[in-house]
Homo-oligomer: A and B are copies of this chain.
Amino acid sequence: MTDLKGFTTPRTPSGRAGLVPPPPWHYVGDFLVVDFHADPDAATSLLPEGLEPFADDPGRCAAVFADWQSYSEGGDELLDPARSQYKEMYIVVNALLDGAPVTYCTFIWVDQDFAMARGWIQGFPKKLGQVWMTRTFNLDTPAAPAIASGSKFGATCHARGREVARARVTLEARSDSGSLHTDPPIVNVRHFPRLAAGHHDDPQVHELVRSRSRDRGVSEIWEGAAELELFDAPGEEHALLAPVSVGRGYRFTFGYTVDDLETVKELG
């Protein structure tokens, strides 16, 4: 009846109840990334229409653990961190889009509803999960690793009470390159199904999108030897990408702003 507002539902006259406040969204997070290779056929089998395998280095993947804080411009989430903080873990497969390298997010788990919905809007196939990451603190202490050679960081991801991923990285030195397997831009598939009878296989939204961001910043990056395990679980299939070889691990802090998204193509 009235003019309802809200970038997402629930929509109200003020718009203040929406699960995801409107962009721009500002983010910062601590990252633990492990570059690895999966079986090339398995990696290819998960690519959507519109993407080609990364022929130069088939099976190139990365596992990313991130401990985020974010807010929506104009919002008060930073002072109410229950609406600002979340952790997530995701797995990207390297691919080609029109001949250019991209990363495709195959699986992702996150521990907050607003981040799950914000992910869906960007095409991230988010489910709920819990993520734990060893932290560093601003104090010389036996209870936390420093950002220094020899320091060990662990991370785990759990979904519906099953552990789905576990990683460990031992820092060796500052990294010149950073993670190679997460370097290309992320492409996702925005997908919103229909429930109308006869249209269950005919999604209302089904399009390949390329992420856009701005004001990106990154801390010093450290790298070192890494371990990664992906565990099977009921209703999950990420173990298709179980590592056949594990590369380097990386730790850093990263921040950026998102308020745009490019639709690359409508999918059939």
Q: Which residues of A contact B (CB under 8 A)?
A: 1-2, 4, 7-14, 16-17, 19-20, 22-23, 26-30, 44-49, 51-53, 69-71, 76, 78-85, 106-108, 112-113, 116-117, 120-123, 125, 127-128, 130, 132-135, 137-145, 152-156, 158, 160-163, 168, 189, 191-197, 200, 204-205, 212, 215, 217-219, 233-238, 240, 253-255, 257-263
Once bound together, how far apart are the Cα atoms of A161 and B82, in whole Å?
Answer: 8
Do B127 and A113 touch (CB < 8 A)? Answer: yes
Identify 8 residue pairs between A and B in the complex whose beta-carbon atoms are under 8 Å apart, listed by A's number. Answer: A4-B46, A10-B107, A80-B154, A112-B128, A139-B253, A139-B254, A163-B163, A195-B259
**Other CB < 8 Å A-B pairs besides A20-B193, A79-B153, A139-B253, 14 of them?**
A2-B44, A2-B47, A17-B237, A28-B141, A28-B144, A69-B135, A80-B132, A80-B234, A81-B134, A81-B135, A113-B127, A113-B128, A195-B261, A204-B205
Do A28 and B69 touch (CB < 8 A)? Answer: no
Closest to A237 in B: B17
Do B71 and A143 touch (CB < 8 A)? Answer: yes
Do B8 and A191 touch (CB < 8 A)? Answer: yes
A205 partner, pick from B81, B116, B168, B205, beta carbons under 8 A: B205
Given A28-B144, A69-B144, the answer on whether A17 and B236 have CB atoms closer than 8 Å is yes
A209 → chain B, closest Cβ, in Å?
8
A91 → chain B, closest Cβ, in Å?
10
A200 partner, pick from B7, B145, B236, beta carbons under 8 A: B7
Once bound together, how far apart are the Cα atoms of A66 and B104, in whole Å?
Answer: 38
Set of chain B residues within 8 Å of A14, measured between Cβ atoms: 237
Do B195 and A12 touch (CB < 8 A)? Answer: no
